[in-house]
């Protein structure tokens, strides 16, 4: 912990084999707060260096690197030498740096948001690659990030992307603003999908309920011909008179035993009588 004259404290970030980009940003911020950043990154090339500030920066840098690295850099007496040495070790020489930037560029070009992936998750991936490029010295502008974000959206976001491109000036739009508009649209379509699922489920349940209550009367579904007129007579369509002569009952309209509806039978009573008269 380092305390300045205004009683504010800053925690010294410790350098590890994998955190150099983040470490460099934190250290630069603290050095700038102490007004000693120019000794490691001078604003003007060839400018005179304040030796007192250089010693302060050197002490701070030695506090933020591992002990084994302190021994390797013990011969350095200038803060800028330590800073440049760390930068060369972790970022490599210019040739390696150029190769890394080319790799990041290909990753950015091929980065696409997948269907079902959240806007927050994809925006984090995009800003992560942009931060790596920035640590290598390639600053990606805000408008370029916005353009890459909109171009990487899936088909389900084409409507909101077209609206943003038509209604807003992309060159002046902030990346966070674009992400916020996409997230609002994402929440809207999620709500619509839930409503459609509920409506579809209710409609399906209604149809299934109707199927269970449908009576087809003639053996289809859950009813049969024996269900028609059950309880009235013997159920075989004939009765005996007082003189023992059998005569046929008119079943042109009978009530279904299951659904209690009057049903017109398919039997043509008149046609049968005509056939009987021809045989006689």
Q: How is residue 238 annotated by DSSP?
A: E
Domain spans, the chain: 2-91, 94-193, 225-279
Say which residues have a Cβ less than 8 Å from residue 58's Cβ, sequence separation at least 6.
Answer: 76, 77, 78, 79, 82
What is the percent of the chain where pLDDT is above 90? Answer: 34
Q: How is residue 228 annotated by DSSP?
A: B
Report the pLDDT averaged over residues 17-43: 88
Say which residues have a Cβ less than 8 Å from residue 68's Cβ, sequence separation at least 6.
Answer: none
Q: Is the pLDDT of residue 236 over 60?
A: no
For residues 70 and 66, give the distance between their C-alpha atoms in angstroms, rounded to a whole number. 6
Q: By C-alpha distance, which of 241, 19, 55 is closest to 132?
A: 19
Which pair of tokens denotes residue 146? 């916005």
What is the percent of the chain where pLDDT is above 70? Answer: 64
For residues 218 and 259, the answer to whether their CB atoms sit within 8 Å is: no
Give me the pLDDT at residue 235, please.
45
Choose the weakest-confidence range: 59-73, 129-143, 158-172. Answer: 129-143
Give me the pLDDT at residue 125, please.
93
Name the more confident of 248 and 182: 182
Give me the pLDDT at residue 158, please.
92
pTM: 0.48
How buried is 237 (Cβ within 10 angstroms: 0-12 exposed, 13-18 middle, 19+ buried)? middle
For residues 179 and 145, give the distance between their C-alpha atoms in angstroms, rounded to a whole number. 11
Give me the pLDDT at residue 6, please.
53
Q: Is the pLDDT of residue 16 over 80?
A: yes
Q: Is the pLDDT of residue 113 over 90?
A: yes
Grade residue 9 by pLDDT with cuts at 50, 70 and 90. Answer: confident
**Chain centroid to CA 19:** 29
Name the more confident of 52 and 5: 52
How buried is 132 (Cβ within 10 angstroms: 0-12 exposed, 13-18 middle, 19+ buried)? middle
pLDDT tens digits, one per residue of 99-112: 888 999 999 999 99
Q: How is residue 218 annotated by DSSP?
A: S
Which pair of tokens denotes residue 236? 């075989």
Return phi, psi of residue 256, to 5°.
-70, 135
Report the pLDDT averaged over residues 256-262: 59
| Beta-bridge partner residues of 9 | 3
What Å distances lie between residue 105 and 19, 55, 149, 250, CA to CA? 21, 38, 14, 89
Report the pLDDT averaged over residues 26-40: 91
Give me the pLDDT at residue 21, please.
82
For residues 27 and 182, give the distance between their C-alpha atoms in angstroms, rounded to a whole number. 34
Range among 75-84, 196-205, 220-229 with highest mean pLDDT value? 75-84
Give me the pLDDT at residue 30, please.
92
Q: Is the pLDDT of residue 173 over 80?
A: yes
Q: Is the pLDDT of residue 226 over 60?
A: no
Q: By C-alpha distance, which of 255, 237, 256, 257 is closest to 246?
A: 237
Choose the weakest-confidence range: 167-181, 203-217, 232-246. Answer: 232-246
| Beta-bridge partner residues of 262 | 255
Report the pLDDT averaged over residues 168-179: 92
């Amino acid at each position: 912990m380092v305390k300045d004259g205004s009683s504010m404290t800053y925690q010294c970030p410790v350098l590890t084999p994998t955190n150099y980009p983040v470490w460099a940003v934190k250290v630069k911020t603290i050095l700038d707060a102490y007004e000693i950043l120019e000794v490691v990154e001078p604003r003007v090339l060839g400018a005179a260096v304040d030796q007192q500030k250089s010693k302060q920066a050197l002490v701070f840098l030695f506090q933020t690197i591992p002990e084994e690295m302190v021994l390797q850099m013990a011969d350095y007496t200038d803060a800028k030498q330590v800073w440049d040495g760390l930068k060369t070790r972790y970022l490599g020489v210019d040739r390696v740096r150029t190769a890394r930037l080319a790799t990041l560029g290909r990753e950015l070009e091929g980065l696409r948001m997948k269907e079902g992936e959240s806007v927050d998750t994809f925006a984090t991936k995009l800003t992560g690659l942009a931060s790596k490029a920035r640590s290598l010295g390639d600053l990606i502008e805000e408008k370029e990030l916005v353009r890459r974000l909109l171009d990487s959206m899936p088909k389900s976001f084409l409507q909101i992307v077209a609206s943003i491109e038509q209604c807003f000036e992309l060159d002046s739009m902030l990346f966070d603003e674009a992400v916020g508009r996409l997230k609002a649209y994402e929440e809207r379509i999620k709500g619509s999908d839930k409503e459609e699922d509920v409506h579809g489920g209710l409609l399906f349940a209604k149809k299934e309920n109707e199927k269970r209550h449908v009576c087809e009367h003639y053996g289809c579904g859950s009813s049969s011909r024996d269900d028609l007129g059950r309880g009235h007579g013997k159920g075989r369509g004939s009765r005996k008179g007082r003189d023992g002569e059998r005569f046929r009952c008119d079943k042109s309209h009978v009530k279904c035993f299951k659904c209690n509806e009057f049903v017109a039978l398919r039997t043509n009573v008149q046609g049968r009588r005509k056939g009987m008269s021809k045989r006689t």
